[in-house]
Structure 1
Amino acid sequence: MLKGEQLSFRYERNKPWIFRDFSIEVSSGEILGLSGASGLGKTTLGKILAGYIQPTKGHVTVEEQPLPRRGYFPVQLIFQNPELAMNPRWRIGKILQEGQAPSPELLQALSIHPSWLNRFPHELSGGELQRVAVARSLGLRTRYLIADEMTAMLDANTQALIWRAVIDYARQIGIGILVISHDNPLLKRLCHRILTLQ
């Protein structure tokens, strides 16, 4: 289980709290939706759960252990804009090797062509680059995935392709997923539970 317990966060000491005493659990194999208006801290919460930033108060555990400080993180976060998460000087093949090489089956499910491996990020479309980001995040050591508006900017066909590949892979490995989205119909189709921030 991925657990955030009594999480509170604010950017500076005298600034307003983004959220306070917020607890959340994502079980292995579960798909949990998180919705709510902009500015309520959904992305900040995702970053805390993935270890990108530290909460002001509270703590995060993965299978009853603190998040690791170094090495491959068991919680992977996929952003809405994949180009911001990739080194523009690296070829796609090197980017996919950065964490742990994805399986050939996953690359095939995401329709990632072998010819892409020698290209740079700017040579791929947004949808193609997001498929690479997903493949890079789903290594064999990934236990939880946080998808922050992962397919919000993509066309319907690419959205369907990505989610089908992610859900099938997650079921095989037993990965828990937190889906952060404003798209309530999407959350209703994908998720076992939905939390709505107010």
Structure 2
Amino acid sequence: MRIVLASQSPSRLGILRSAGVEPVIRPADVDEDALLAELIDAPPAERVAALASAKAAAVADDFPDDVVIGCDSMLLLDGELQGKPHTVDATTERWRRQAGKTAELLTGHCIIRGSERVVDTATTRVFFADATDADIQAYARSGEPLECAGAFTLEALGGWFIDRIEGDPSSVIGLSLPLLRRALYSFSLDVSDFWAR
């Protein structure tokens, strides 16, 4: 039995590898914009959980004997969900809005094993530094935050600009190990079953 990651996120892969797991990588092809448009009135946690569920379900049939993980993260800032900024200009603008503020990073998870399924969302409060405009622009130009939910990383250059978090650090990076552990236990599996030998 293997863990299958329905994502091409290097951060999620890094979390699993650091935790002793070498997953099968099978990125899911999901129209995230269309799904979010259908769920426009749903609560934020439900929206990110729905994205995670769509990703896991897209590949689960190909891995009936394995554990499939789908995840999605978005930042809840001033009551609005923020996805990946994609461009330097959008990243700069986002950071000018979030610098010095507190927001919630929501990471939806869907973990599937055969007919069993756990869907949950981890929420972590992020306290952003009041970064200078020069640092905001330099960080945006670095390219690092362009494809990150919330336009930041915790584990690399972005760590300079996060004063603190309240919650699960691994969920901020993209995949909650505590949430995954609880899901595996609910399937009567041990975490150590998946450690690379």
TM over 0.5: no
Larger helix percent: 2
TM-score, normalization by structure 2:
0.30
TM-score, normalization by structure 1:
0.30
Higher relative contact order (CA 8 A, sep 6+): 1
